[in-house]
Structure 1
Amino acid sequence: MPDSSVGRRGVLASAAALAGLVGLGAVSSLAAAPAAAAAEQRRNAASNYHGSPSAFEPMIIEGGTLIDPATGDAIQDAVVVLDRGRVLAAGSRDATSRAVRSVAATARRIDAGGRFILPGLVDAHVHNNTLEDARLVLSHGATTVRSGSSSFYQDIALAALPEWAPGLAPRMHAAGLFVSPQLGDSVLADPALVPLAGLKQGLHDPRDLAYLTRVNIERGANVIKTRANPRAGMAEQDPLELVYDREQLASIVAAARGAGVLCHAYSAEGIAGAVAAGVRSIEHGVFVSERTLAQMARRGTYFTSTLTGVADMSGSSNPVLAERGREYTPVLQAAIRAAAEAGVRVVAGTDAFGTDVIPIGTEAWILQEAGLTALQALQSVTTNAASLLGMEGEVGRLVRGALPDVVLLEANPLESAAALERVSTIIAQGRVVGEE
């Protein structure tokens, strides 16, 4: 066994290499970071590198219609001013005139005339294992994402990237390794996981689940992914079988030390146990009961339905998956409507894996098709998602002090969420995406 500190540095270096970040200065000192310090560790990424992070360019976005997803209010001929890595002002020309004057001499101007100005969108469930994956997700307007786990801590390396290469990938809320019975080759991601390789029946003991959760947190994860049921997208698995019960899930929640736990769950029993255990959000949630929805509303548990991913199974060439898609889709659509009526905050997540990327705007639109209003669908990729991630005031609205993430749309999302598929310009971390 190598010295633990050397091993952990190696883990992050390997994660950066697997994520395609070598040469970008993104290898960080994330090792052994507790959850509360993960953001600070990312800010100190590559602290021994001889260069410095890129400076932010002031920017004035003007002439479009500014949409506030929190209220549905719209301001025509609006202006958004970005400076020093934050939104300096957003609103009418009169309200922003002072901010405009303060940066006018050096600011880049973007004409948004005829378009709609929104905060960068949020995809609350992705699996980004490489830089290419992350770039594709960003190219559809998702400037902030939440990882649904990675295989070798690549998401933790990706989370450090915006500091050194702004505009190259979304802001990442990293989960690290999936807290699941079988780790497979992911047990090689860190020397600290070696004891788990000897568990012939996999991870079921609450003490082992807590151990893996703590390792994730120590490596820099700021969310944790686990499961109550197997995968629906694997024909040989039964997605209604119970994998972890309330006691097991509660051990994960406790070990996460405040990091939000997202729980993959399909069956009514599995979802109910996860909610009772205190998870932050239910992922998929097809057979959620009305009673559990009421508990979710009381507890503030979020619902990330990944509806597009479930519906897409209907077109599978595998007859088992195709039948699941046909059976599950209308049930999940009804669950989404019931959740909204019960006061549960619905959040959009595409469950994108690798380069098989679903635009986050498509997920918002299909949520509207399921029964949400256009405004509720917009909130699922903005304010609801920001609240889930604990980023109110930074993400989800363009207000003073928010992060400099902006999308310009060709159509009005308050009329139809399909407009969220028509992203014409993306500004991520204060940089226009796609420009060299």
Structure 2
Amino acid sequence: MCVENTPPPSGRLTRRGVLAGAAALAGTSAVLAGTAPAASASSGTRRGEAPGRGGDLVVEGGRLLDPATGEVTEDAVVVIAGGVVRAAGSRGRVGRVPGGVPVLRAHGQWILPGLVDAHIHLNTAAEARDAVLKGATSARSGSTNFYQDIAVRELARQAPEQAPRLRAAGVFVTPDLGDTILADPDLAPLARLRDGVRSAEALRRVVEVNLARGADTIKTRVNERAGLPEQDPLVQVYDHEQLSTIVAAARRRGKGVLCHSYSEKGCHDAVTAGIRSLEHGAFVGERTLHEMRRRGTYFTPTLTAIAGLAESSDPVLAERGRTYLPVLKRAVLAAHELGVPLAAGTDSSGGTVDPIGREVELMHAAGLSPLDAIRTATTGAAKLLGLDSTAGRLARGFAGDVLVVDGDPLADLGVLSRPARVVRAGFAVPAA
């Protein structure tokens, strides 16, 4: 059986209905219903971002760290208007600040740009807000079952203090879609496929439906999952040809692909098929890392998730985590030394949001300097997400996303997991 004669994904009416259901599941509709009207309009809009709210705020005092240069500015001032940084630097350089604007005083503290979580699963509005409170002001989805990440992305555009700026991946391109087929009538024809989503027609179908629903990127896999004891994460589920089909379908619409991976052969097949970023990749080898450097393929190792396996009560998962983590750390250091671009991602899922600062700590534990580790969650991850002129720095024209921490992150990266204050698009986010 095949799906080659199935009509193309249907139009706006179906999309509206599907995404309304996703919003209901994610709880974003209820949050938006209780949100006050926008106080500041599209002056905070960046290229590629939908119009939304943006706040006015001055952050003053403290030391400002620019991850791009490593420069530290004493007694810094950051002026945010309409959700966008208008000035940032020393008090003498910034000069007079606007009157009548809320002020966040950061004397004795450090000021950084909001962090970027390049691999997270946000299924609900509550999870999205938790991610912001833990320092992730921008993020990329690692997929959801029923397009909830697309609903969260819309929440972030309308009420930025409630959710990270998000690149949504929609539903997983995987052999067994399971109940995800119920999410969308345009996926229903795939239910009759005895072998699951494996043919070129079926693979293209899932990509096309995702893009028709508004996904920003495509998520697929080459190996089974490490987090399920009954699966072997070194077993390959898609080959090079199938992965190439997925990549080609995404590229036709100008989108990239992130790929769940573990085995060296799987990693190599995924990279040479043209994926944008390799996720997990514990056993990625030297030949593949060289290919990644040549192609500019990103590596998002999700060390936090692998470290979490080692703490599992399931003996299979605990042993897997203890075995994989040191291997993955060595791969991260080898990638860094070769010049492969790295991005920090927690792979948070299941209702628990890990602080992105923990991933930065683990990058450092793998051998990166504190500044290079911070870059994986700022300038590096922002570039992967196509937000390199929006996120990752506090400079004129960048988003007014700020992290205030109690201590020097270059001396103690642990402070990033315990932000004293978070500012999202010029709004100081109240603690839960």
Q: For the structure 1 residues 387 and 406, does the alpha-carbon distance in structure 2 shift closer, same or farther, using more than 3 Å as the test?
A: same
Q: Equivalents in 1 of 2:234, 2:157: separation in Å?
A: 41
Deviation of the 1:106 alpha carbon = 2.5
Q: Percent identity?
A: 52
Which residue pairs with 2:190 in the alignment?
A: 196
Deviation of the 1:4 alpha carbon = 4.8
Which residue pairs with 1:175 in the alignment?
A: 169
Which residue pairs with 1:13 in the alignment?
A: 20
Which residue pairs with 1:165 in the alignment?
A: 159
Answer yes or no: is 1:105 the counterpart of 2:99.
yes
Q: Equivalents in 1 of 2:48, 2:292: separation in Å?
A: 33
Q: For the structure 1 residues 163 and 4, does the alpha-carbon distance in structure 2 shift closer, same or farther, using more than 3 Å as the test?
A: closer
1:282 counterpart SS class? strand
2:80 and 2:426 in contact (8 A); partners too: yes
Q: Equivalents in 2 of 1:254, 1:3: separation in Å?
A: 21
Q: Which moved more, 1:426-435 or 1:278-287?
A: 426-435
Which residue pairs with 2:303 in the alignment?
A: 307
Which residue pairs with 1:36 in the alignment?
A: none
1:22 counterpart SS class? helix
Which residue pairs with 1:29 in the alignment?
A: none
1:129 and 1:150 in contact (8 A); partners too: yes
Q: For the structure 1 residues 40 and 346, does the alpha-carbon distance in structure 2 shift closer, same or farther, using more than 3 Å as the test?
A: closer
Q: For the structure 1 residues 402 and 41, does the alpha-carbon distance in structure 2 shift closer, same or farther, using more than 3 Å as the test?
A: closer
Answer yes or no: is 1:363 the counterpart of 2:359.
yes
Q: Equivalents in 2 of 1:422, 1:24: separation in Å?
A: 25
Which residue pairs with 2:427 in the alignment?
A: 431
Which residue pairs with 1:43 in the alignment?
A: 50
Match of 2:276 among 270, 277, 280: 280
2:187 counterpart SS class? helix
Deviation of the 1:271 alpha carbon = 0.2
Q: What does 1:100-179 align with in structure 2 at a 5 Å threshold? A: 100=97, 104-179=98-173
Answer yes or no: is 1:224 the counterpart of 2:218.
yes
Answer yes or no: is 1:382 the counterpart of 2:378.
yes
Q: For the structure 1 residues 42 and 69, does the alpha-carbon distance in structure 2 shift closer, same or farther, using more than 3 Å as the test?
A: closer
CA offsets 1:305-340 (integer angstroms, 9 cap, x no match):
111211221222222112111211111111011011
Q: What does 1:343-358 align with in structure 2 at a 5 Å threshold? A: 343-358=339-354
CA offsets 1:359-390 (integer angstroms, 9 cap, x no match):
11111111111211101110011010011011
2:22 and 2:146 in contact (8 A); partners too: yes
The one-letter amino acid of 1:129's match is N
The one-letter amino acid of 2:382's match is A
TM-score, L = length of structure 1: 0.91
Deviation of the 1:93 alpha carbon = 1.3
Q: Equivalents in 2 of 1:131, 1:240: separation in Å?
A: 34
5+ residue gaps in structure 1? 27-38, 45-52
1:207 and 1:251 in contact (8 A); partners too: no
Q: For the structure 1 residues 413 and 216, does the alpha-carbon distance in structure 2 shift closer, same or farther, using more than 3 Å as the test?
A: same
Q: Equivalents in 2 of 1:325, 1:255: separation in Å?
A: 34
Q: Equivalents in 1 of 2:212, 2:267: separation in Å?
A: 27
5+ residue gaps in structure 2? 1-6, 34-45
2:157 and 2:165 in contact (8 A); partners too: no
Match of 1:77 among 70, 75, 78: 75
The one-letter amino acid of 1:201's match is D
Deviation of the 1:25 alpha carbon = 4.6
Match of 1:253 among 222, 247, 255: 247
Which residue pairs with 1:31 in the alignment?
A: none
1:57 and 1:108 in contact (8 A); partners too: no
Deviation of the 1:164 alpha carbon = 2.1
Which residue pairs with 1:318 in the alignment?
A: 314
Q: How many residue pairs were aligned?
A: 411
1:352 counterpart SS class? coil
1:191 counterpart SS class? coil
CA RMSD of aligned residues (A): 1.9
Q: Equivalents in 2 of 1:61, 1:42: separation in Å?
A: 24
TM-score, L = length of structure 2: 0.91
Answer yes or no: is 1:422 the counterpart of 2:418.
yes
